[in-house]
């Protein structure tokens, strides 16, 4: 299994402990880590402020002093979760030492590791957009910020693979990734990452004829 030195919060809650096994000491970090776990596992609207405070072991004044409101805490949690997930995903990808076509396909292998965790709760951003008012641009803006960072990496690998239209291949791959994330969350079946990888291979071969292995 891939080394999980920076496991995403929704996938395992590793952010609640430091490498030495000690609880993260700063109250604001405890709030973020606990809120991230509860939001991912139980839902944003189903999780009240009092529940977060009780599990984090901090006073209500700490929340309002550091974040101001639950809505601002939600935004902070999404940024935190996005950074955690991207660091983990890109680090594991980099450790494989591949690029281009092989890196694009490796992304689905890494997703498969994530999907098979007992604590896999799906994408924090997809979940948040699904829960919030669809006319509210705030959460959608955070989700798009996260998505742009992922698209940038996918496009870099599509270009390295020699895609005839790297932008189009990037969006095809991103759609397969998003679809696999949602399907795995609904079915609890990690093998959908393999099916998505097979589909990605067909698209990559179509767009990058010189990279076929």
d(CA 181, CA 175): 10
Radius of gyration of the chain (CA): 18
- C-beta of residue 203 within 8 angstroms of C-beta of residue 172: yes
pLDDT of residue 8: 60
Q: Which residues, in sequence order, are CB contacts of 150 under 8 Å at separation 6+?
A: 86, 174, 177
CA-to-CA separations, 148 to 82, 102, 143, 152, in angstroms, rounded: 11, 21, 9, 6
Burial (CB count within 10 angstroms: exposed 0-12, middle 13-18, buried 19+), residue 61:
exposed
Angle between helices 192-207 and 166-187 (to 10 degrees): 170
- C-beta of residue 33 within 8 angstroms of C-beta of residue 68: no
pLDDT of residue 119: 86
- C-beta of residue 124 within 8 angstroms of C-beta of residue 38: no
pTM of the model: 0.86
pLDDT of residue 212: 55
Strand partners, 23: 17
> Taking the chain (213 residues) in consecutive chunks of 10 residues, what is each chunk's mean pLDDT?
51 44 67 92 92 92 90 94 95 96 98 94 94 89 96 98 97 98 95 97 92 55
pLDDT of residue 50: 93
d(CA 194, CA 171): 18
C-alpha closest to that of 146 among 166, 169, 123 = 123
C-alpha closest to that of 8 among 115, 149, 104 = 115
Angle between helices 166-187 and 100-115 (to 10 degrees): 10
- C-beta of residue 207 within 8 angstroms of C-beta of residue 168: yes
Query: Which domains does the chain show, CATH number per domain?
Result: 9-211 (1.10.357.10)
CA 175 to chain centroid? 14
């Amino acid at each position: 299994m891939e080394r999980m030195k920076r496991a995403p919060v929704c996938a395992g809650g590793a952010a609640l402990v430091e490498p030495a096994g000690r609880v993260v000491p700063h109250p604001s970090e405890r709030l973020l880590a606990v809120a991230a776990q509860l939001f991912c596992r139980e839902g944003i609207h189903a999780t009240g402020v009092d529940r977060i405070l009780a599990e984090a072991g901090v006073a209500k004044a700490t929340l309002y002093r550091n974040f101001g409101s639950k809505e601002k805490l939600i935004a902070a949690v999404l940024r935190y979760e996005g950074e955690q997930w991207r660091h983990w995903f890109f680090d594991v990808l980099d450790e494989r030492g591949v690029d281009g076509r092989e890196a694009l396909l490796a992304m689905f292998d890494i997703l498969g590791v994530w999907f098979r965790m007992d604590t896999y709760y799906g994408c924090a951003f997809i979940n948040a957009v699904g829960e919030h008012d669809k006319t509210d641009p705030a959460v959608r803006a955070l989700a798009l910020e996260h998505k742009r960072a992922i698209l940038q990496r996918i496009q870099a690998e599509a270009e390295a693979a020699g895609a005839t239209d790297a932008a189009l291949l990037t969006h095809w791959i991103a759609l397969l990734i998003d679809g696999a994330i949602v399907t795995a969350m609904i079915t609890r079946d990690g093998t959908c990452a393999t099916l998505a990888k097979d589909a990605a291979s067909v698209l990559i071969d179509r767009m990058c004829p010189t990279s076929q292995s």
